[in-house]
Amino acid sequence: MLTGDQALTEFIRQTIRERGPVSFAWFMEQALYHPELGYYSSGRCAIGRRGDYFTNVSVGPLFGRMLAAQFAEMWELLGRPDDFTIVEQGAHHGEFAHDVLTAMQDFPAPLRYCIIEPFPVLEARQKETLSGFADKISWRKFVNDLEPFSGVHFSNELIDSMRVRLVRYESGGDWQEKFVADSGDGFAFVTMPIADAELRSQLQKVPRNDDGIYETEVNLAALQWIEDIANKLRHGFVLTVDYGYPRLEFYAPERTVGTLQSFAKHRRASSPLNDVGHVDITAHVDWTSIAEGAERSGLNLIGFTDQHHFITGLLAKYSPGENERRALQTLLHPEFLGTRFQYLGLSKNLPPVALSGFRFAREAKTAL
């Protein structure tokens, strides 16, 4: 009988035998999100000092408390409505939601919290973490299952784990796409002509430097994601936190091998094609493309900055206690998390607004 990782590897190999080489986007989807065997969907993903990677929530409840202050300000800017909803996507075990709801226990209006979670094992862990707030929380499997809402859609380190297309070119040549084949000894990359019109269209925005071999990623899934959110948000905000670059920096000539990485136990793995289902696979975010997709979908760009400036801006709304100073330093310090993460803020059906988190930010369109 095959173990879980063997079963996932064999499923991918069988698919390749039947179809031929598969796009890396499909491979990444199976490795991370196969319904039973993927790195995330199986519940195998571990966050924190003893896990595979470290994130804002790993610092402790301060991150959730400070974002709760930002959400409260959003409610104020919306005119103190009675139907304010926080939608979180990528909630892992529910720690962030727990910290936010604890901080907002005395919120002066009905508050609804909805988690987008497609995987039963993670929903079960979230329900355990959030058992004290059962009357405030609901779950949906996908963004498209949401009822239209007013409030805020929030995500932390979600976009970097969406499936990406891998592309490459050689000097004087055309773009090609990297697919995954079975070499007999394991999985291997092969290149094939690009047939996808959407991918070709997006590549027209990528600056080229015809000097040698250049490889990079295109995240079409993120563009569909932001469109889906825009279709569900009636009135309010989108705030997403992740790591990436504006387009010109993302596709800088010197970044010849892109940003794709795989991690296990805080160490980079040798290849995303190895240890399938047991490593995290990520790619940095092209923030300019997300902002452009958001504006095409009817959202307005209201802010873009790094975590150091965002958290500093929030200090006007939340003053950490003495016991939170160390956590604050970790969130702020450039050598820890302060410059690793960026915040993108969007709004819908609102006049121009200024969120405290962006009070020290550069003008967003210029930054992107």
Under the banding of pLDDT at 50, 70 and 90, the label for residue 45 is low
Say if residues 54 and 63 touch (Cβ distance below 8 Å).
no
What pLDDT is recorded for position 5?
Answer: 60
Domain 56-163+230-243+296-367 = CATH 3.40.50.2300: no
Match 């080229």 to its residue by tokens. Answer: 208
**Phi and psi at residue 102, in whole multiples of 5°?**
-65, -45
Say if residues 323 and 78 touch (Cβ distance below 8 Å).
no
Q: What is the mean pLDDT of the chain?
A: 93
- Over residues 52-62, the mean pLDDT reads 80
Q: Is residue 2 predicted with pLDDT exceeding 60?
A: no
Q: Where are the domains of the chain?
A: 1-38+165-218+260-283, 56-163+230-243+296-367
Q: Is residue 254 predicted with pLDDT exceeding 80?
A: yes
Question: Which whole-number Å values give the CA distances from 204 to 257, 273, 276, 365, in the listed order?
Answer: 19, 28, 32, 20
What pLDDT is recorded for position 339?
Answer: 92
Q: Is residue 126 predicted with pLDDT exceeding 50?
A: yes
**Phi and psi at residue 75, in whole multiples of 5°?**
-60, -40
Q: Is residue 51 predicted with pLDDT exceeding 50?
A: no
Q: Is residue 136 predicted with pLDDT exceeding 90?
A: yes
Report the C-alpha gap between 281 and 360 in whole angstroms: 32
Report the C-alpha gap between 169 and 167 in whole angstroms: 7
Task: Name the pairing type of β-strands 187-193 and 176-182.
Answer: antiparallel
Say if residues 87 and 151 touch (Cβ distance below 8 Å).
yes
Say if residues 292 and 338 touch (Cβ distance below 8 Å).
no
Task: Name the pairing type of β-strands 233-242 and 137-140.
Answer: unpaired
Q: Is the pTM of this model over 0.75?
A: yes
Q: Is residue 50 predicted with pLDDT exceeding 90?
A: no
Say if residues 344 and 240 touch (Cβ distance below 8 Å).
yes
Q: Which helix (H) or strand (E) holds 268?
A: strand 267-268
Write the CB contacts of 78 (distance below 8 Å, at least 6 apart in sequence). 84, 150, 151, 235, 236, 350
Question: What is the side-by-side order of every strand in the sheet holding 261-264?
Answer: 267-268, 261-264, 280-282
The type of residue at 367 is A
What pLDDT is recorded for position 53?
Answer: 52
Nearest-5° angle of CA 339, CA 343, CA 347? Answer: 165
Report the C-alpha gap between 68 and 74 in whole angstroms: 10
SS3 content of the chain, % helix, strand, coil (to 5): 35, 25, 40
**Hey, what are 54's tokens?**
């470290």
pLDDT tens-place string over residues 332-366: 988 778 899 999 999 999 999 999 999 999 999 99
Report the C-alpha gap between 23 and 12 in whole angstroms: 11
Match 């910290």 to its residue by tokens. Answer: 99
- Over residues 192-203, the mean pLDDT reads 96
Question: Could you tell me what percent of the chain has a pLDDT over 70?
Answer: 95
Task: Name the pairing type of β-strands 176-182 and 165-170.
Answer: antiparallel
Match 């016991």 to its residue by tokens. Answer: 323
Q: Is residue 57 predicted with pLDDT exceeding 70?
A: yes
Match 């990079």 to its residue by tokens. Answer: 216
**Hey, what are 118's tokens?**
């497609």
Q: How remote is the C-alpha of 24 from its chain's centroid? A: 18
Q: In 30-64, which positions are buried (b, 16+ CB within 10 angstroms) versus exposed (e)? A: bbbbbeebbbbbbbbbebeeebbbbbbbbbbbbbb
DSSP structure string for 217-247:
EE-HHHHHHHHHHHHHEEEEEEEEEE-EE-H
- The radius of gyration of the chain from alpha carbons, rounded to an integer in Å, stands at 21
Report the C-alpha gap between 123 and 344 in whole angstroms: 26
